Structure 1
Amino acid sequence: MDDWVEIERDERHIKRERAKARELRKTPYFKNLLQQGLCHYCKQKFPPEELTLDHIVPVARGGKSTRGNLVICCRTCNQEKKFLTPAELLLRRMAEEEDAPQE
């Protein structure tokens, strides 16, 4: 039995949600988060110009541009995350810890 479900990308959804994200980036709420300079994923501090807006659940995977799904993160974390969901990130980290040499 094949338990893989193919989900096609909806380009209209992606375009619409990215436009919403661009508008939300201009709001005082997100400007304040940028000024705080804290990456959502690695919890390190960065200058605002080194931070980006990221969808926790990527729009390409059905995520929406809502305040609860958008976070501020550093470019490194954003590039490492790619199109992964939070559950996939957790599984990846667990696998990396498992592969790490034990002391």
Structure 2
Amino acid sequence: MNDPTISGGQNCAIGRREITLEDYYIPASDEHIGRERSRARDLRNSQWWKRQLAEGLCHYCRGEFRPSELTMDHVVPVVRGGFSKRGNVVPCCKDCNNQKQSMLPVEWNRYLEGLVETDGSHTTDTSS
């Protein structure tokens, strides 16, 4: 078994390489990104989205904000294959959205855990 995709690697404890998130997704096509951005624009104009904003809570840090201070975040980012659908978009403050960028939920949680470990001061709720 000399296939490097199956065995070996510097983090190898039992003869297999470490599996990363990149092993499980293919970056989205330009066509997918364009289509989903258009759908996101439509969704932003919906009454459902306006009700989400009216609650005034960031999905991630649970901070209270005026609706104009919240953005639409794709939990699974469009560039990572996510869709602009109700189950995948949440209101998010600009700080959390800028920090999250195109991270998947598991990556975002790891990022937050690292912040807590290094300075202990970040208050974002990682249970979402």
* TM norm. shorter chain > 0.5: yes
1:76 and 1:96 mapped to 2: Cα distance? 14
Question: Which residue in the other structure is 1:28 paired with?
Answer: 47
The gaps in structure 1 that reach 5 residues or longer are none
The gaps in structure 2 that reach 5 residues or longer are 6-18, 121-128
2:90 to 50, 68, 71: 71
Aligned residues: 101
> Structure 1, residues 56-103: CA drift from partner, whole Å, max 9, x if none?
0000000011100000111111000001000001111222333347xx
TM-score, reference length from structure 1: 0.87
TM-score, reference length from structure 2: 0.71
Q: Tell me the amino acid that sits aligned with residue 54 of structure 1.
A: D
Q: Is the 8 A contact 2:59 2:90 kept in 1?
A: yes
Question: Which residue in the other structure is 2:77 paired with?
Answer: 58
RMSD of aligned C-alpha atoms? 1.7
Q: Which shows bigger deviation, 7-16 or 21-30? A: 7-16
Q: Percent identity, please.
A: 44
The answer to which structure, 1 or 2, has the higher relative contact order (CA under 8 A, 6+ apart) is 1
Q: Tell me the amino acid that sits aligned with residue 62 of structure 1.
A: G
> Structure 1, residues 14-59: CA drift from partner, whole Å, max 9, x if none?
0100100110111111101111111001001101111111100000
Rg (Cα) greater in structure: 2
Q: Which has the higher helix share?
A: 1
2:44 and 2:89 mapped to 1: Cα distance? 9
Closer, same or farther in 2 for the Cα pair 1:8/1:38, shift >3 Å?
closer
